[in-house]
Amino acid sequence: MSPASLPDSHAQKPGAIRSVLIAGGGTAGWMAAAYLAARLQGTGVAITVLESSAIATVGVGEATVPAIRDFFRAIGLHDFDVMRATGGTPKLGIDFIDWAGDGTRFFHPFGLYGLSSRNVPFHQYWLKLVHGGDRRPLGDYSLCTRMAREGTFMLPVDNPVNDLAVFDWAVHFDAARFATMLRDHAMAQGVTRIDDTITHATRNARSGHIDRIETQNGLALSADLFIDCTGFRSLLLGEAMGVAWVDWADMLPCDRAVAIPSTHGGPFDRPYTSSTARKAGWQWRIPLQNRVGNGYVYASAHLSDDEAVATLRANLEGDALAEPNLIRFGAGHRRAFWSGNCVGIGLAAGFLEPLESTSITLIQTGLEKLVDLFPDRACDPTLAAEYNRATTLEYERIRDFILLHYHGNRRHGEPLWEAMRGAPLPDKLTHKLALWRARGKLVRYEWEAFLDPSWLSMYAGFDILPSAHDPLADHFSDRQVTEALDHMREAIGAAAAHARPARDFLAQLTRPARPVGAG
C-alpha cells in the first residue's frame, strides 16, 4: 500500500510529509491520530492508524492533569462532552494518605497558595509564621484543597469573587471509552483505520528509515513518518530502529501493578484522586461516574503478586467488578524518542509510574513537540535531536518529582520505604532540595512539568521545611503577617461558599444539557 494520493486542492511543497502511519491504537494511538488530524488539517497529510483488535491495551490510566483540557480544545471537543462519553468526573488534585506516616494526609492541589506581597512569594510569609510557632497547614491557603476536603466543586470563572478564587481542574475518565471516542472523532476527520497485526518492519538500507510495515494479513504499509504507539513492546522504535532502553529501576523500583475496578461505596463526594501508601508501594483510587478505578503499584522485590492482590481486595470500598489485572513494567525511557522517521509516543517511548497522573500528559506533550518540530520527508536529525533533548529533560523532571515523594516518606520499619528514604538522589533534585532547605528557595528548571505550588505541597506535606525564610519577608511584623494570612483564609472561605456538592455537579453533568456556566 503506497502513500494515499493527495486531493488536488492540497498543493504540497517538494519533500513535504504526505503520509503518517500510527502503529497501535489505544489511548496513545488515537490521541496521536486526533491531534495530528486537527493540527495538520488542510496540509493534505494522510493519517492511518494500524491497530489490532486482537491485542489488548493496558487501559488502566484514568487520571489526568489540567493540561488535558487544552488537548480537548485543540482537537475540537468540549470538556463536558468528553466527560459524558467516558464516564468522567472532575479532579481537583491528589490526596496523599499515610505517606508521611500512618494516619497522615496532605493534598496536592491544582491551584495556588495564598498571595505574594512586595515581590516576596507567599510561602515565605507562611514560613515566617511557622518559624515563629504558628503551624497552620499550608493547605489552609488553597481553594482547591478546601473544596476537596469539603467534597465540593465549581467551575473556574473569568471574574472570580476574589484573587484567591483562582484554580484549575482536570478529569478522571475511562481510558478505553476515551480511546473509542477519539477513534470515532479522528475517523470523522478523515483518519483511516486498519485492523491488522504487525509482523515485521523493514528499514531502508541507505537511510536507515523505516520503509514499510508488513502485517499478518499480507499488507505492506508505507508512510513518510511512523508513530510508534505499540505500548511496552515498542515494535518500531525499540525493535525495528534498535533504540536502547534507559533503565531507572534502581531509582524507581516499583515494577508491578494490579488493578481491580469496583462499585462505589457511597455517593460521589471526592472530586480528586487518592494515593494511599502501602507496605511495598501505593494504592490508587480514581472515582468515575459508575465505578471506581483501584490499583496497587508495588515493588516485586518486596511483595508477591498474590499478596498485592489480597491487599488490594481487602481495601476496596465496594464490590469488585472484574478479576485482577496484573501488569508488569519498568521505569525508564528509550534513549531516543525520535529516530530517523520514527517517533515513539506513550509506553513505546517510556514509562513512569502513574503517581502524579503523567502518562497521558507525556502523550500529549510528545505530540505537541512533534507538531512544533514537524519535519519533511528527510527528517532532519537536528529536529529529532531537539525533540529528544526536550523530552529527555521532561522525563527526568517528572522522575525527580516522583522521587521526592519517596525521599520524603516517613514510613518506618518497611524495607521499601526505608531504602527509598535513604537512596541517593539525582544531582538536579539534590540541588533543588539544598536550596529549599537553606532558605525556602524554589528552583525551576527547563521542561518542568510541575511548578512551584506542586513542589510546595510536597515539601509541606512531608514537613521538609527550611531552616530560614527570606529576610525580605521581615518587612512586615509577625502580627501584620498573621492578620494578612487570616484575611486570606477568610477569602478562600468566601470563594468556597460558591461551590456545591460534587455529587450535584456530577448529577447535572450527566443530564442532556451542559452545566450552567459551561464554556
Q: Has residue 101 been placed in a domain?
A: no
And the C-alpha cell for 199? 509482523
Task: Give the pLDDT band of residue 12 (cuts 50, 70, 90).
Answer: low
Same domain, residue pair 338 and 225: yes
pLDDT at residue number 511: 80
Q: Has residue 365 been placed in a domain?
A: yes
pLDDT digits (tens, 9 = 90+) for 447-503: 999 999 999 999 999 999 999 999 999 999 999 999 999 999 999 999 999 999 999
pLDDT digits (tens, 9 = 90+) for 202-258: 999 999 999 999 999 999 999 999 999 999 999 999 999 999 999 999 999 999 999
3-state secondary structure 136-204: CCHHHHCHHHHHHHHCEECCCCCCCCCCCCCECCEEECCHHHHHHHHHHHHHHCCCEEEECCEEEEEEC
pLDDT tops 60 at residue 329: yes
Same domain, residue pair 304 and 348: no
Q: Has residue 130 been placed in a domain?
A: yes
Same domain, residue pair 195 and 285: no
Write the CA distances from 50 to 26, 222, 226, integer angstroms: 11, 12, 11
Phi, psi of 311 (to 5 degrees): -65, -45
Number of domains in the chain: 3
Q: Has residue 186 been placed in a domain?
A: yes
Closest by CA position to 283, among listed 257, 246, 253:
257
And the C-alpha cell for 312? 488490594
Q: Has residue 303 been placed in a domain?
A: yes
pLDDT tops 60 at residue 85: yes
d(CA 127, CA 466): 8
Same domain, residue pair 72 and 193: yes
Same domain, residue pair 497 and 373: no
Tell me the HSE value of 326 on the side-chain side, using a 13 A CA sphere: 9
Residue 47 or residue 519, greater confidence? 47
DSSP helix/strand/coil, 460: helix
Same domain, residue pair 350 and 244: yes
Q: Final residue of a domain: which of 342, 370, 392?
A: 392
* β-strands 292-298, 256-259 pairing: antiparallel
Closest by CA position to 49, among listed 152, 161, 190, 166:
190
- Which residues face 285 on adjacent strands? 274, 294
pLDDT at residue number 518: 44
DSSP output for 192-240:
EEEE--EEEEEE-TTT--EEEEEETTS-EEE-SEEEE--GGG-IIIIII
Q: Final residue of a domain: which of 287, 310, 328?
A: 328
pLDDT digits (tens, 9 = 90+) for 89-128: 999 999 999 999 999 999 999 999 999 999 999 999 999 9
Residue 302 CB partners (closer than 8 Å, separation 6+): 279, 280, 415, 416
Q: pTM value?
A: 0.94
Count of helices and strands (H, E) across the chain:
14, 23
Same domain, residue pair 179 and 46: yes
* β-strands 46-51, 89-91 pairing: unpaired
Tell me the HSE value of 252 on the side-chain side, using a 13 A CA sphere: 28
Q: Does the active-site annotation cover 128?
A: no
Q: Where are the beta strands (DSSP E) in 370-511?
A: 500-501
d(CA 470, CA 308): 45
Residue type, 271: P
Task: Give the pLDDT band of residue 513 (cuts 50, 70, 90).
Answer: low
390: Cα separation from own chain's centroid = 17
Q: By residue range, what is the domain housing residue 68?
A: 19-87+173-249+331-392
pLDDT at residue number 5: 36
Same domain, residue pair 413 and 489: yes
d(CA 309, CA 288): 21
pLDDT at residue number 55: 78
Task: Give the pLDDT band of residue 61 (cuts 50, 70, 90).
Answer: low
443: Cα separation from own chain's centroid = 21
Same domain, residue pair 407 and 484: yes
Same domain, residue pair 71 and 193: yes
DSSP helix/strand/coil, 317: coil
pLDDT digits (tens, 9 = 90+) for 13-36: 889 999 999 999 999 999 999 999
Cell 473544596 sits on residue:
147
Q: Has residue 510 been placed in a domain?
A: no
**Residues 441, 414 contacting (CB under 8 angstroms):** no
pLDDT digits (tens, 9 = 90+) for 165-218: 999 999 999 999 999 999 999 999 999 999 999 999 999 999 999 999 999 999
> Choosing from 13, 91, 279, 432, which is the catalytic residue?
91
| Residue 442 DSSP label | -
- Mean pLDDT, residues 35-41: 98
Mean confidence (pLDDT) of the chain: 94
Same domain, residue pair 428 and 293: no
d(CA 154, CA 135): 29
d(CA 487, CA 164): 11
Percent of the chain scored above 90 by pLDDT?
92
CATH code of the domain covering residue 354: 3.50.50.60
Question: Is the alpha carbon torsion for 36, 39, 41, 44 positive or negative?
Answer: negative
Q: Has residue 150 been placed in a domain?
A: yes
Same domain, residue pair 489 and 419: yes
- Mean pLDDT, residues 70-90: 97
| Residue 120 DSSP label | B
Task: Give the pLDDT band of residue 59 (cuts 50, 70, 90).
Answer: low
d(CA 362, CA 346): 7
Cell 501584620 sits on residue:
480
